[in-house]
Structure 1
C-alpha cells in the first residue's frame, strides 16, 4: 500500500511534467522552423513580373529571321519570366545566327543564382557577325532565383537585329 501511495505522490507529477516538457520542446522546434521559412521568403520580383511565353523566343525557332525585336517602345525595362512553351530561361551558350527570330540572338554570359531568393548581375551577350559576345551589344541583366524558376531584369535592346532568346 505504501508503494501505491508513493507512486501517486511522485510518479504522476513526474509523468505530467515530462509530457509538458515534451510539448514545450515540440512547440519551440516548430516555431524555429517557421522562422527559418520566413527568412527565405522570396523577393517581390518573384511574383511581380511580365511573362514571355512566345515560342518564337526559342533558340530552335529559325523560321523567320529579324521578324521580332525587343526595342523600345515594343519592349520596356522590367522583370520578365520565360514560360513554356517559349522556354524557361536564357540559353547559357551562344545560339546560332538567326535563332529566335533575330539576326543576332542573345545568350546569358554568367552563372545562374543557386540559392532561392538570391539575385546575380551579369551580362546578356549578342552574337554578332561571328563574334560570340560583341562588345557593342553587351547588355546588363539581373537574374533572381525564385525557387522553381528564374526572373530576369531586362532593358530594351538598341537595335532591331537583337532579341532576348530562351531555351529549356
Structure 2
C-alpha cells in the first residue's frame, strides 16, 4: 500500500547503462505481508522499455498495467548521485559479529539509524558482503542478508544491488530493501546501507574475503601489474557447449534428469549450432525434455556487469523432497543459484550446478535463438527498438508525483 495505490509496480531487473540503448524489462507488483514469499513477485504486469540518459536520469515507455492487478501504480525512489565520493566519506563498520561464521547473537539492523555510506571491516581488515546464500542464524542475527549480484568494478561507479535473506531451502525467500555499492581504490567496497524491511536481519560480512592490504603492498601490486601480463580463465573463452535441442522450451515427451550429469565449470547453450539462452519467465511443466523445468529468476546481465549470481526458478506445483519429509509448493521459487556472464558475440555462459531433485533440467528458450556470429563479423546498420526513430531522452514527459514515492502510504 505504498506509491499511492494498493499494488506498487517495480522493475524486474537492473537499469541499463547509456551504451545499452533501449532495453525491455519485466514489471512486477508486490502486495501481501512482508513475510509472504510471494510479496515481490505475486503480480506480473506488462513489460516496459527503459533507457539511460546523459545527465544521470532514465526515461520509461510506460504502458497500461495488467487489468488483473488491483490498483497498480508505478513506483519511484529517489536516486541522487552524491556530490562527494563515498570512497572518501564513509563510516567504518568493524563489527566481527557480522561475520558469516558468527552465531549465538540476534542483532537486528532494523534497530539502527542508518545514514550514508559504510565500509565493512573485520578487526581492522577489509571484508565484503557475501554474494551467495548464507545459512539462517549466522552473522549474529536470525536472517542474514547477502548481496544478490556481483560486486562492481571501480570503473562501474555506483551500482544498485538486490539484497536477499534465506528461509529453509530458498536462498531468496526474503527480499530486503536494495542498496547501492561502490568499489574503491585499495581493494575495498562501500555500501549505502538502509533499514531492512525484515523484523530481525543484518547485513553480512563474508569471512572468506578478509583482506589486509597496506599502501605499500598496493603500490607493489600496481607496479607488478604495469610490468606483467596477467591472465585468467575468462568463462567466455573457457566453457563446454551444450547443443542439446531437447532442452528447448517447445520439447516434450522426455524425462531427462540433470541431477544425473556431472556438472563442472561453465556452459554455453546452443540450439543446432545457434545461440540460445535460458528463459527469464515461467515455463510449463513437461517441457524442455523433462518434467520439472528450470529457468532463470531474473534478467540476464549486460557485458559490463561481469559475472552475476541468479536464482534458478522451477515451475512445478508440488515437489516431494524426501530428505525434508514434506511437500513443498515450489511454483516460481528459487531452490539454488547459478552464476551467469554475458559474452561478446551475443551469447551467455552459465555455471550450472547439480539440481537437488529429479526429474528436472535447465531450459533453453526457443524464442531467443540467434545465429552465432563473432563480434568482428557484425556489420550493418543499427536497429532501434520497436522502430523508434527519435531519442526518448529528448522527447519525454515528466512524472513529478510525490505520491509515487515508496515512502508514501496508501491513498486509494
Q: Does TM, normalized by the shorter one, top 0.5?
A: yes
Q: Which of the two has greater strand per residue? A: 2
* Cα distance in 1 for residues equivalent to 2:278 and 2:331: 15
* Cα distance in 1 for residues equivalent to 2:280 and 2:331: 12
Matches within 5 A, 1:72-83: 72=260, 74-83=261-270
Note if 1:52 corresponds to 2:228: no
Note if 1:132 corresponds to 2:331: yes
- What secondary structure does 2:288 align onto? helix
- What secondary structure does 1:122 align onto? strand
State the TM-score, normalized to the length of structure 1.
Answer: 0.65
* Cα distance in 2 for residues equivalent to 1:144 and 1:42: 15
Q: Identify unmatched segments of 5+ residues in structure 2.
A: 1-230, 319-329, 369-412
Q: Is the 8 A contact 2:258 2:359 kept in 1?
A: no
State the TM-score, normalized to the length of structure 2.
Answer: 0.28
- What secondary structure does 1:44 align onto? coil
Q: What RMSD in Å do the two structures reach over aligned CA positions?
A: 2.3
Note if 1:154 corresponds to 2:360: no
Aligned length: 123
Q: Which of the two has greater helix per residue? A: 1
Q: Identify unmatched segments of 5+ residues in structure 1.
A: 1-40
* Cα distance in 1 for residues equivalent to 2:275 and 2:247: 7
Q: Is the 8 A contact 1:69 1:163 kept in 2?
A: yes
Structure index of larger Rg: 1
* Cα distance in 1 for residues equivalent to 2:244 and 2:251: 10
Cα offsets for 1:56-76 (capped at 9, x unmatched): 000100132x2x11114x231
* Cα distance in 2 for residues equivalent to 1:52 and 1:103: 19
Q: Is the 8 A contact 1:70 1:162 kept in 2?
A: yes
Higher RCO (CA < 8 A, seq sep 6+): 1
* Cα distance in 1 for residues equivalent to 2:356 and 2:232: 31
Cα offsets for 1:23-68 (capped at 9, x unmatched): xxxxxxxxxxxxxxxxxx996100111111111000100132x2x1
Shift, 1:139, TM fit: 1.6
